[in-house]
């Protein structure tokens, strides 16, 4: 019976993790919300891919969104944050909008922490201090702006607001951290408050909408708990406590089955699979085989791939989602971030190497490796329309052809 249950979990996880076929990458973690895309990755025999263009976008760890032939990202320069719009194919800056904000280096380079979100003809961006912007995606003109602290009594985390805005229909949802308004939903057209709920401290992960136990659920990884909310009104559906040193819950949760979520945190906290059963969370397993400090793990069938350990030394590992056991560990890949595209892993190491490998649970099967960036690299890579986008924390952006 145990074998049959494990097999069922694996099959459900495989079905639940099938990537959505979409060329554009409109929000953090891509069209499936889990760092998995179906785009083809055609690598030459050498395993190296050509650099198409380069740009400088300012200091920060913001990733990218891509839509309508344009790429959007954020960076810090001088005394301001910039939201940049570039031609996704060739690299010229089409427009930039900037606003005053501190660099705020705190054991890292500082600068922008969050990734913009593209929805229709608007792009949404939030700074580490709490400035929230809705810009015209074609021109960069301001449609409306708010401030998470000044307008909604948000409590800024120690390392600043980092979660990407989540657009759900007519609402843009953010992890605000306010007492009585930890999670807020604003009207996408006006920025007016639609609902607020909770008093948890804000985390660093990005909120996402998942279907859990057959119910549309807003999942938010707070500073001290994983919470599920009704996205229509913010009412709490369930809560699972999860305490990490310095309240750094930064890796966005991963759905590994229809009713199961994987969460992971650094500082030797570890990982857990939590089942939602009858509207209540139940822990399936917990161990320290995956301690995701900043970047989120990636699901693939009955396994999950992620970087284990804090920045500066974590190794790439593969975990069995049913048991939490390690399938393999690769010590040649240190830190950074990982995504999956058409059955291949694309890893950007902390020192700026791009590593291509097969997405397999039976061992690490490298296809190619090439140095691309020369500075510390934390941002998640993005694959869209046959191109791979990477950047380092100092703001060098590189586009490669797949």
Q: Domain holding 50: CATH number?
A: 2.130.10.10
Q: What's the full length of the chain, in residues?
A: 402
Give the per-residue pLDDT at 110. Answer: 97
Is residue 210 within 8 Å of residue 227, measured between CB atoms?
Answer: no
Is residue 259 within 8 Å of residue 275, measured between CB atoms?
Answer: yes
- Rounded CA-CA distance 80/102 in Å is 7
- Rounded CA-CA distance 95/97 in Å is 7
For 153, left (φ over 0), alpha (ψ -120 to 50), or beta? left
Structure letter (DSSP) for residue 107: S
Q: Is this model's pTM higher than 0.75 or not? A: yes
How much is the average pLDDT of 165-183?
A: 98
Phi, psi (deg, nearest 5) at residue 103: -70, -45
- Under the banding of pLDDT at 50, 70 and 90, the label for residue 313 is confident
Give the per-residue pLDDT at 255. Answer: 98
How much is the average pLDDT of 261-285?
A: 98
Looking only at the bridges linking them, the beta strands covering 215-221 and 208-212 are: antiparallel
- Rounded CA-CA distance 61/299 in Å is 22
Q: Range of 115's domain? A: 2-401
Mean pLDDT across the chain = 93
- Rounded CA-CA distance 114/106 in Å is 15
Is residue 320 within 8 Å of residue 302, measured between CB atoms?
Answer: yes
How much is the average pLDDT of 142-163?
A: 98
- Rounded CA-CA distance 345/337 in Å is 10
Number of domains within the chain: 1
Give the per-residue pLDDT at 21. Answer: 41
Residues 314-373 have pLDDT tens digits of 999 999 999 999 999 999 999 999 999 999 999 999 999 999 999 999 999 999 999 999
Residues 198-240 have pLDDT tens digits of 999 999 999 999 999 999 999 999 999 999 999 999 999 999 9
- Under the banding of pLDDT at 50, 70 and 90, the label for residue 47 is low
């Amino acid at each position: 019976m145990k074998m049959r249950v494990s097999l069922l979990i694996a099959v459900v996880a495989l079905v639940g993790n099938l990537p959505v076929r979409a060329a554009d990458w409109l929000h953090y973690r891509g069209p499936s919300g889990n760092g998995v895309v179906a785009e083809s990755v055609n690598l030459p025999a050498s395993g190296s891919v050509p650099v198409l263009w380069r740009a400088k976008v300012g200091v920060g760890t913001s990733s990218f969104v891509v839509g309508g032939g344009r790429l959007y990202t954020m960076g810090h320069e001088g005394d301001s944050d910039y939201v940049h719009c570039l031609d996704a194919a060739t690299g010229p800056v089409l427009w930039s909008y900037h606003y005053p904000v501190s660099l705020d280096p705190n054991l890292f380079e500082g600068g922008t922490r969050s990734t913009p979100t593209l929805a229709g003809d608007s792009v949404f961006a939030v700074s580490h201090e709490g400035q929230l912007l809705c810009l015209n995606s074609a021109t960069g003109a301001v449609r409306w702006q708010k401030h998470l602290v000044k307008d909604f009594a948000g409590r800024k985390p120690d390392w600043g607001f980092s979660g990407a805005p989540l657009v759900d229909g007519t609402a843009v949802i953010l992890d605000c951290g306010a007492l009585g308004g930890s999670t807020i939903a604003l009207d996408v057209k006006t920025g007016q408050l639609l609902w607020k709920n909770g008093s948890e401290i804000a985390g660093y992960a990005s909120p996402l909408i998942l279907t859990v136990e057959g119910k549309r659920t807003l999942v938010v990884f707070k500073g001290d708990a994983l919470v599920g909310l009704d996205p229509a009104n913010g009412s709490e559906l369930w809560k699972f406590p999860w305490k990490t040193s310095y309240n750094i819950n930064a890796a966005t949760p991963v759905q590994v089955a229809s009713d199961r979520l994987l969460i992971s945190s650094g500082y030797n906290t570890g990982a857990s699979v939590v089942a939602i059963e009858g509207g209540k969370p139940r822990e399936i397993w917990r161990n320290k085989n995956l301690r995701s400090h900043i970047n989120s793990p990636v699901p693939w069938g009955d396994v999950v791939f992620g970087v284990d350990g804090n920045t500066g030394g974590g190794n790439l590992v593969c975990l069995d989602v049913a048991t939490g056991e390690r399938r393999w560990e690769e010590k040649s890949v240190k830190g950074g971030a990982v995504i999956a595209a058409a059955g291949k892993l694309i890893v950007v190491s902390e020192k700026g190497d791009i590593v291509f490998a097969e997405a397999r649970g039976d061992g690490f099967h490298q296809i190619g490796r090439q140095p691309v960036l020369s500075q510390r690299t934390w941002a998640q890579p993005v694959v869209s329309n046959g191109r791979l986008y990477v950047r380092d924390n100092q703001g060098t952006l590189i586009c490669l052809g797949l």
